[in-house]
């Protein structure tokens, strides 16, 4: 199936934008290895839901009787939440490249994340239509504007599985010794599988499809290592995260015709989740400790750099101590010639 030119342009634009963000984030660092030298491993409880909807046409918005919050979209799925364990791997929030922690930019951080897969099972309601068949154009339009109630309309079962990799810009980011508070905007890619079944018959199946995503999130964490300065919990945070899709750039890649044979509206998926868990900071590189630093306790790295910049000190040779005179005095021949024979001894008698 050929992808429409507009959708193809959006996909290329999203991919190029993501590549630009990745390049700009890594360029300012000394190396990619240094950027990912410290990672965060998180796990806990995840409460999430997925909502499937279609965007209304101008005519549907004109004659719609829905609330103002649903004026531009029509919901096609039940609202239910699923609680399950989760895990994620991310790089530790790093300062922006080139700017580091100077001035205004100290309230910004960047990070890469990879989420664990999520699987949703539910009911799709009145998609692509409510199931009524008519050859009358007026009735067909009326059925699209006013579908049957959810209990009487067409129902399908869906299985939706997806996981995400994304880049997050935290702004503002407030951090202290034992806590942090941040608002994030995430840009990335979602890989999903989607199955649609009606009366045990598979109507559509999508496997290993990619779509760009844009999310907003709120994050708060408190350091448990405050109470456990040594051991496994030394660099561990108890955190709360609330996130949701702010916009779906790409629809789900399915195409099911309506009962009257006309093409259906594109189907979109939106996810929201709340998490509570524990995040552990792990260093992947071990600093090499020199033996003389460890034994002699030279000092911090800043002091070592200062001492390296100083010119080498001139070593002073130790002064040689005069040799101790022997117990027996040696006679000087010159002194013997000039000396008085009568004064050879200490007592002249």
pLDDT for 206 beyond 70: yes
The mean pLDDT value for 107-120 works out to 91
pLDDT for 306 beyond 80: no
Q: What is the pLDDT of residue 158?
A: 93
pLDDT for 234 beyond 50: yes
Q: What is the pLDDT of residue 237?
A: 93
Q: In this predicted structure, which of 36-40, 134-138, 155-159, 329-333 has the lowest mean pLDDT?
A: 329-333
Work out the number of other CB atoms within 10 angstroms of the CB of residue 264.
Answer: 15
Cα separation of 286 and 98, whole Å?
25
Angle at 293 (CA atoms; ends 288, 294), nearest 5 degrees? 80
CATH 2.40.160.20 fits 5-283, yes or no: yes
pLDDT for 320 beyond 60: no
Cα separation of 114 and 167, whole Å?
9
Q: Are 259 and 131 a contacting pair, CB within 8 Å?
A: yes
The mean pLDDT value for 330-340 works out to 48
Q: What is the pLDDT of residue 327?
A: 47
pTM above 0.85, yes or no: no
What's the mean pLDDT when you consider all of the chain?
A: 76
Q: What is the pLDDT of residue 339?
A: 47
Work out the number of other CB atoms within 10 angstroms of the CB of residue 144.
Answer: 21
pLDDT for 157 beyond 90: yes
The mean pLDDT value for 64-83 works out to 77
- Tell me the CA distances in angstroms from 104 to 108, 154, 255, one per residue in order: 8, 54, 48
Q: What is the pLDDT of residue 33?
A: 65
pLDDT for 338 beyond 60: no
Cα separation of 115 and 34, whole Å?
22
pLDDT for 140 beyond 70: yes
Per residue in 207-220, pLDDT (tens digit) is: 999 989 999 999 99
Per residue in 240-268, pLDDT (tens digit) is: 999 998 876 788 988 888 887 788 889 99
Q: Quick one: pLDDT band at residue 23, thresholds 50, 70, 90?
A: low
């Amino acid at each position: 199936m050929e992808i429409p030119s507009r959708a193809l342009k959006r996909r290329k634009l999203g991919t190029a934008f993501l590549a630009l963000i990745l390049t700009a984030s890594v360029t300012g660092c000394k190396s990619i290895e240094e950027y990912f030298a410290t990672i965060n491993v998180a796990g806990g409880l995840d409460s999430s839901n997925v909502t499937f909807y279609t965007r209304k046409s101008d005519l549907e918005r004109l004659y719609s009787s829905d609330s103002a919050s649903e004026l531009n979209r029509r919901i096609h799925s039940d609202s239910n939440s699923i609680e399950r364990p989760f895990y994620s791997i991310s790089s530790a929030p790093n300062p922006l490249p080139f700017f580091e922690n100077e001035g205004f930019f100290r309230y910004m951080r960047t990070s890469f994340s990879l989420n664990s897969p999520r699987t949703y099972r539910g009911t799709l309601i009145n998609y692509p239509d409510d199931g009524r068949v008519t050859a009358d154009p007026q009735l067909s339009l009326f059925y699209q504007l006013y579908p049957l109630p959810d209990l009487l309309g067409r129902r399908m079962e869906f299985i939706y599985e997806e996981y995400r990799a994304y880049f997050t810009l935290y702004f503002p980011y407030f951090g202290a010794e034992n806590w942090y508070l941040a608002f994030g905007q995430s840009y990335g890619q979602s890989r999903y599988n989607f199955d649609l079944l009606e009366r045990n018959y598979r109507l559509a199946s999508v496997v290993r499809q990619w779509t760009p995503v844009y999310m907003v999130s709120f994050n708060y964490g408190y350091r448990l290592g405050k109470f456990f300065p040594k051991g496994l919990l030394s660099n561990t945070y108890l955190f709360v995260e609330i996130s949701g899709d702010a916009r779906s750039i790409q629809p789900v890649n399915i195409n099911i015709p309506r009962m009257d044979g006309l093409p259906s509206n594109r189907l979109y998926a939106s996810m929201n989740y709340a998490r509570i868990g524990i995040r552990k900071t792990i260093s992947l590189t071990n600093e090499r400790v020199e033996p003389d630093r460890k034994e002699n306790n030279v000092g911090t790295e800043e002091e070592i750099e200062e001492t390296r910049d100083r010119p080498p000190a001139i070593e002073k040779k130790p002064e040689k101590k005069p040799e101790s005179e022997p117990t027996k005095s040696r006679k000087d021949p010159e002194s013997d010639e000039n000396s008085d024979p009568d004064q050879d001894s200490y007592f002249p008698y």
